[in-house]
A = this chain, B = another copy of it.
Amino acid sequence: MNPIEGHLPSRSPLHDILAPTGIAVIGASSDPTKRGYKAMVGLIKDGYRGDIYPVNPKADMILGVKAWPTVTAIPGSPELALICTPAASVPELIAECGRRGIKGAVILASGFAEIGGEGAALEQAMMDKARAHGVRIIGPNTSGIFNLHHRINLLALDNVRPGDVGIISQSGNMLLSLALEAQHNGQVGFSTYVGPGNQSDIGFNDYLRYLGEDEHTRVATLYVEGFRDGRKFLDVAREVTAMKPVVVYKSGSTEQGQKAASSHTGALAGSYAMTVDLLKQAGVSVVQYSDEILPVAEGLGLLQKASGKRVAVISDGGGQATIASDRLAEAGLELAELSEATRDRLRAILFPQASTVNPVDVAGSTDANPSLLATCMEIVAADDNVDSVFLVGMFGGYSIRFAESLLGDEMRGAEAMVDLAKAITKPLVIYSLYTPVKPPALRRLHEAGLPIYASIEHAVRLLAALGERGHYLNASRAHRLPPAVPRDPDSATAIHAALAAGRDLLEPEAKALLRAHGVPVLEERLVTGPEQLAAVVAEFGEVPLAMKVVSKDILHKSDAGGVRLNLVGEAALSAAREAILASCRAYDPDAEIEGVLVAPMAPKGVEVIVGVSRDPIFGPVLMFGLGGIFVEVLEDVAFRAIPLSPFDARSMVDQIKARKILDGVRGEQAVDREALVALLLSVSSIVSAYPEIAELDLNPVIANADGYALVDARIILDSPTQETPS
């Protein structure tokens, strides 16, 4: 057995499987249309240096390699088996593999859980064998794997070269598409590819951990239709993104797409908007369009990050400078404001008609000497107001468009750009309309590790990803989680009592819990008999009060006629109480009514909603948004996985499209954002401290310049045995 080089000890058990010292190909074949042939060709052609064991009862030799009739007959101990045989044969083969000491198996066959019924039973039988015999499963229903630095190319893909982009893709066609694009682009190489298939054993989180540890992978790139254990994935992603960029394309952004996706794999799809928010929370670079996956992954791998969002544009054509400006603004980036000193230095080398305001337009100054563009890049890169430099225009094509004699200047310009890229930590991103032609100057830049774009749009997506990644990584202190809060004994008791009684928390109990954890809740009084109303008026005064019913049996108080507003004085309160009780009794004659809550009317302000639910894929998730139509019609909400860091809380308030309303419109004062941020952090801590809380709903919270008023609070407990009220 040949030792495989570069096989370092590390934590993930996948290293053994994905960089094995020997491979059994079960169902190896001499028929060129079979996958068992392709895999053999891939291993042999790429020069795999481990042992290859073709398994086929009907052949002695396959492609010049001695074949074995069964797995049991294999003389050595390969770490990986590739199983190319039909689904029904798999469970027994897994048992055989286990007995032979094989640690992992790649299962190509489809016909498992993704077709439901019988397939699901077969997948279960396979997993039973796998667990019993200690075999880890990649797939089933996978397109396979490759690990090019170890010359393992089980897909027998042509023309892929070893490089630093790792890929996990639930679609084999997507891998093929990226490989063809990379071949055409001429620069991007790959490290490891895995098709996770049905993820019946190993899931996205395990593969991502492996790519995080893999020394050959500089950027992990994932095409995901659905996660199995989203919470674990987020935990792994948070660790990996601190070290290297992780790029995710999540399919199913629309209902239509989700339907298409779930007919394709067995995994749950989840809400797209929520998934994107949670991935970004973990530092993942989410790309929205499939044709941006490779451009963004390549650029992130090469350039790593920018320290912020202020971009300096150098252009030799006003039109494309304008397009770049539009795209940068749409992507949330800023045109850096160049200092006067920078502008003076530009003016000194450019024609008078050049624009030295960002976007810089050289206006013909470089026509006779394109290397001046490199000088411009150097000048703006030295400006403290600039986080990244974006060259837009025809660099690389001057010698084609104007005069061949300019080639020397262009090559000197390219060298100067390469030197600049080495000398500074700010990313240089280059769009050239000559990219499809691959002229010498661009080839030189490409070879030196600078990404070159043929589309302004793709270049800007990269700049946005660099900026977001920089923003995320630079905020390290704000990512620290607040300390866990201890449980309040009274609240814990109330929860236990409610669970024992098979009910959720009553509104006063929920509010008491919040108050116990420092969340300011509007003062209110529970009134259980008419004789208490006078004391309530004495306490609150002759101000407008609100009254609502308290009953574990009435969830939708307004529908039951259980709410009355703007009540002034004892007579009004008394009448309202009678009306509420009558209305609620009519609504549900069996409802147990504890009484009514009386509180001052909420102050004026902006209605916001804070909600918590436990997602089956991602666990406890907090939602924030503006109330009313913003949530119901515009779905303008932000999600974060609990626990939230201060960075998370602040970014979710900033994220909603209607945030201008929080800043004050129509002459209103801005609301106290820090108070909202504190509320989100408190809710996150509370939910972490009480795993019994299944759902929490603060709707509405009235936010204003002085803070906020919490008008209503609902806490649903996990597994209450009570029946749902009809």
Contacts and interface: CB of A to CB of B under 8 A. Distances in A.
A355 B291 contact: no
A264 B433 contact: no
Interface string A152-176: 0000001000000000011111101
Given A173-B319, A329-B257, A657 B632 contact: no
B330 A254 contact: yes
Contacts of A665: 629, 632-633
A322 B251 contact: yes
Interface string A179-207: 01101100000000000000000000000
A323 interface: yes
A33 interface: yes
Contact of A657 (B256, B289, B326, B634): B634
A306 to B, nearest CB: 18
Contacts of A402: 33
Contact of A263 (B32, B318, B328, B436): B318
A257 B632 contact: no
A330 B273 CA distance: 14
B260 A321 contact: yes
Interface stretch (A5-13, A451-459, A471-479): A451-459
B353 A115 contact: yes
A316 interface: yes
A634 to B, nearest CB: 7
Given A33-B368, A257-B329, A355-B263, A319 B658 contact: no
A491 B357 CA distance: 52
Nearest to A291: B455
Interface string A253-265: 1111101110111
Contact of A184 (B357, B363, B401, B437): B437
Given A180-B434, A263-B355, A335 B456 contact: no
What is the count of identical protomers in the complex? 2
A170 B261 contact: no
Interface in A284-338: 289-291, 316-330, 335
A33 B455 CA distance: 28
Contacts of A291: 454-458
Contacts of A434: 180
Contacts of A290: 320, 323, 455-457
A173 B394 contact: yes
A323 B172 contact: no
A252 interface: yes
Contact of A32 (B110, B177, B403): B403
A223 B254 contact: no
Contacts of A329: 254-257
B325 A260 contact: yes
A529 B100 CA distance: 105
A321 to B, nearest CB: 5
Contacts of A254: 325-326, 329-330
Contact of A335 (B32, B256, B324, B403): B256
A225 interface: yes
A370 interface: no
Contacts of A556: none
A314 to B, nearest CB: 13
A243 B427 CA distance: 48
B319 A251 contact: yes
A317 B401 contact: no
Given A176-B394, A658-B633, A323 B436 contact: no
A393 interface: yes
| A158, A180, A403 interface centre (most CB from chain B within 10 Å) | A180
Nearest to A334: B256
Given A457-B291, A632-B666, A658-B629, A174 B263 contact: no
Interface string A237-255: 0000000000000011111
A264 B319 contact: yes
A433 B256 contact: no
B260 A359 contact: yes
Contact of A322 (B252, B320, B357, B433): B252
A518 to B, nearest CB: 32
A32 B318 CA distance: 24
A180 B33 CA distance: 39
A660 interface: yes
A361 interface: yes
B436 A361 contact: no
B259 A325 contact: yes
A500 interface: no
A65 interface: no
A326 B252 contact: yes
Contacts of A174: 317, 319-320
Contact of A323 (B257, B320, B400): B257
A373 B434 CA distance: 36
Nearest to A658: B633
Interface in A422-455: 433-434, 436-437, 454-455
A180 B437 contact: yes
A661 interface: yes
A436 B357 CA distance: 38
B318 A264 contact: yes
A359 B173 CA distance: 15
Contacts of A184: 436-437
A318 B666 contact: no
Contacts of A433: 173, 176-177, 180
B326 A661 contact: no
A111 interface: yes
Contact of A177 (B320, B324, B328, B666): B320
A325 to B, nearest CB: 4
11 contacts: A33-B402, A171-B322, A173-B316, A180-B433, A183-B437, A255-B329, A260-B359, A263-B355, A632-B665, A632-B666, A634-B657
